[in-house]
């Protein structure tokens, strides 16, 4: 641990972070990445879960970057203890790019972790082009959500009012034939919340693109399936779209929707990355709109960048509709914000209100 004197602590608007990893090299590399952003300050470092618990008593911490495999006390053991010590704490699990790491990360999310980040090897942490920016955005976004949660209910930040400058589109004229969801940073937990607020009575198939490595997507699909609301599986080439079932785009492949006879099916593509992503939401949305004549309800959840905006534009131009998660409940208001600012959304809603709105637009009574 490296205690920081109270007199040198940054103002409360800065995200206060603790890094917990048994590798001193990893701790130093992550600290350099995070401290490069003036809105983040690393206030403590710990080499195992027990040391992190001890540090939590000494510092006011917003976000913990928590390794999984450590001596003395591993991350999965420490997680519930950290959350019990500070229920408002946001924890990001740092996981290896393996199936085992993916499964542990998804289990951690179900146990209360706020997010995860795939961790490169010690020799590649500093030079990984995506790891640093992704971690910085997650830390800042989660720290903001923690601050909002501490505010009184009457605070404007805690509300979900829509900025008056953002235009909303009218409801679609025809009932959707497909529900298409796009998400990225902060997406897994948002997806768990969203799916749990839906219903097995959904009369349309669901296609879902989450920006995620190939080792993680089958694990995410399995954990969504375990929620027991809608069956979910990683998509395979040629898989048919069936009402009330979720197909998740596999990592490193775009998922396209095609009409085949009287039904719809999935085609997987190894085409170039779109918006620096593969899978990307734009190809899924554009193809779904083309295959259904625009009869798509698109939902864009928390995420960096603007993937999904052009796909939504294509959908609504053809007569479909789109919902966007609001800024107050998004870890990063990049993807949904792009849709909202472009005036493409039928509604911009807090995460807990998206499920009921989807059911209403699909004609489902709970």
pLDDT interval class at 153 (50, 70, 90): low
Half-sphere exposure of 302 (CA within 13 A, CB side): 27
Range of the domain at 182: 178-361
Measuring CA to CA, which residue among 214, 256, 297, 242 is closest to residue 232? 242
Does residue 12 contact residue 146 with C-beta atoms inside 8 Å? no
Concerning whether 35 is annotated as a catalytic residue, the answer is no
Answer whether residue 5 shows pLDDT above 60.
Answer: no
Answer whether residue 205 shows pLDDT above 80.
Answer: yes
Answer whether residue 54 shows pLDDT above 90.
Answer: yes
Tell whether 32 and 69 lie within a shared domain.
yes
pLDDT at position 161 is: 46
Distance CA 94, CA 114 (A): 12
Measuring CA to CA, which residue among 223, 354, 238, 232 is closest to residue 299? 354
Tell whether 213 and 348 lie within a shared domain.
yes
CATH of the domain at 352: 3.40.50.180
Tens-digit pLDDT profile for residues 288-331:
999 999 999 999 999 999 999 999 999 999 999 999 999 999 99
pLDDT at position 9 is: 41
Q: Compute the average pLDDT of residues 140-147.
A: 94
End position of a domain, from candidates 150, 165, 199: 150
Tell whether 237 and 128 lie within a shared domain.
no
Answer whether residue 164 shows pLDDT above 70.
Answer: no
pLDDT at position 123 is: 59
pLDDT interval class at 8 (50, 70, 90): very low
pLDDT interval class at 100 (50, 70, 90): confident
pLDDT at position 109 is: 92
Three-state DSSP class for 59?
A: coil
Instruction: Pick from 3-17, 161-175, 252-266 the range whose average pLDDT is largest.
Output: 252-266
**Which of 44-48, 131-135, 345-349 is the least confident region?**
131-135
Count of domains forming the chain:
2
pLDDT at position 189 is: 95
Distance CA 48, CA 69 (A): 9
Does residue 247 contact residue 233 with C-beta atoms inside 8 Å? yes
Active-site residue, from 307, 326, 330, 346: 307
Distance CA 303, CA 297 (A): 18
Q: Compute the average pLDDT of residues 204-223.
A: 96
Does residue 361 contact residue 299 with C-beta atoms inside 8 Å? no
Tell whether 185 and 261 lie within a shared domain.
yes
Instruction: Output the six-digit token pair for 343.
Output: 């005036």
Tens-digit pLDDT profile for residues 111-142:
999 999 988 766 566 666 788 999 999 999 99
Answer whether residue 212 shows pLDDT above 80.
Answer: yes
The answer to the question of residue 275 being in a domain is yes
pLDDT interval class at 152 (50, 70, 90): low
CATH of the domain at 81: 3.40.50.2300
Answer whether residue 202 shows pLDDT above 70.
Answer: yes
Percentage of the chain exceeding pLDDT 90: 80
pLDDT at position 171 is: 84
Classify residue 262 by its DSSP letter.
T
pLDDT at position 162 is: 47
pLDDT interval class at 287 (50, 70, 90): very high
pLDDT at position 344 is: 96
Does residue 65 contact residue 20 with C-beta atoms inside 8 Å? yes
Active-site residue, from 47, 105, 184, 287: 184
Q: Compute the average pLDDT of residues 22-42.
A: 94
Tell whether 65 and 201 lie within a shared domain.
no
The answer to the question of residue 157 being in a domain is no
Instruction: Output the six-digit token pair for 29.
Output: 């590399």
Q: Compute the average pLDDT of residues 42-48.
A: 97
Does residue 63 contact residue 15 with C-beta atoms inside 8 Å? yes
Active-site residue, from 115, 197, 211, 326: 211
Concerning whether 183 is annotated as a catalytic residue, the answer is no
Concerning whether 184 is annotated as a catalytic residue, the answer is yes
Looking at the chain, list the stretches that DSSP marks H as alpha helix, in order from N- to C-terminal side. Answer: 24-35, 49-56, 75-85, 99-110, 131-150, 187-196, 217-226, 281-292, 309-317, 335-341, 351-361
Tell whether 113 and 29 lie within a shared domain.
yes
Buried b (16+ CB within 10 A) or exposed e, 168-184: eeeebeeebbbbbbbbb
pLDDT at position 98 is: 74
Half-sphere exposure of 105 (CA within 13 A, CB side): 30
Half-sphere exposure of 201 (CA within 13 A, CB side): 8
Does residue 55 contact residue 110 with C-beta atoms inside 8 Å? no
Half-sphere exposure of 54 (CA within 13 A, CB side): 12
Does residue 216 contact residue 102 with C-beta atoms inside 8 Å? yes
Tell whether 194 and 338 lie within a shared domain.
yes
């Amino acid at each position: 641990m490296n205690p920081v004197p109270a007199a040198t602590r940054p103002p409360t608007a800065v995200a206060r972070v603790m890094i917990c990893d048994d590798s001193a090299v990893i701790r130093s590399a992550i600290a350099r990445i995070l401290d490069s952003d003036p809105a983040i300050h690393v206030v403590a470092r710990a080499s195992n879960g027990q040391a992190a618990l001890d540090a939590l008593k000494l510092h006011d911490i917003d976000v913990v970057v928590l390794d999984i495999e450590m001596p003395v006390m591993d991350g999965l053991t420490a997680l519930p203890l950290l959350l019990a010590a500070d229920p408002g704490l946001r924890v990001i699990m740092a996981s290896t790019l393996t199936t085992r790491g993916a499964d542990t990360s998804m289990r951690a999310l179900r146990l209360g972790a706020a997010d995860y980040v795939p961790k490169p090897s010690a020799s590649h942490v500093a030079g990984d082009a995506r790891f640093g920016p992704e971690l910085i955005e997650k830390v800042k976004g989660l720290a903001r959500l923690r601050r909002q949660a501490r505010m009184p209910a009457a605070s404007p930040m805690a509300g979900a009012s829509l900025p008056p400058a953002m235009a909303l589109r009218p409801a679609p004229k025809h009932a959707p034939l497909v529900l298409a969801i796009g998400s990225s940073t902060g997406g897994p937990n948002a997806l768990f919340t969203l799916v749990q607020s839906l219903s097995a009575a959904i009369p349309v198939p669901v296609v879902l693109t989450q920006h995620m490595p190939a080792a993680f997507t089958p694990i995410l699909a399995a954990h969504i399936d375990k929620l027991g609301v809608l069956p979910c599986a990683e998509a395979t080439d040629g898989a048919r779209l069936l009402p009330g079932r979720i197909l998740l785009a596999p990592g490193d492949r775009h998922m396209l929707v095609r009409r085949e006879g009287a039904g719809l099916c999935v085609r997987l593509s190894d085409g170039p990355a779109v918006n620096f992503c593969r899978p990307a939401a734009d190809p899924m949305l554009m193809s779904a709109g083309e295959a259904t004549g625009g009869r798509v309800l698109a939902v864009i959840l928390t995420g960096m960048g603007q993937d999904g905006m052009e796909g939504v534009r294509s959908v609504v131009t053809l007569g479909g509709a789109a919902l966007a998660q609001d800024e107050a409940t998004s870890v990063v208001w990049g993807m949904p914000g792009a849709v909202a600012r472009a005036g493409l959304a039928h509604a911009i809603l807090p995460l807990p209100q998206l499920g009921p709105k989807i059911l209403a637009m699909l004609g489902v009574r709970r």
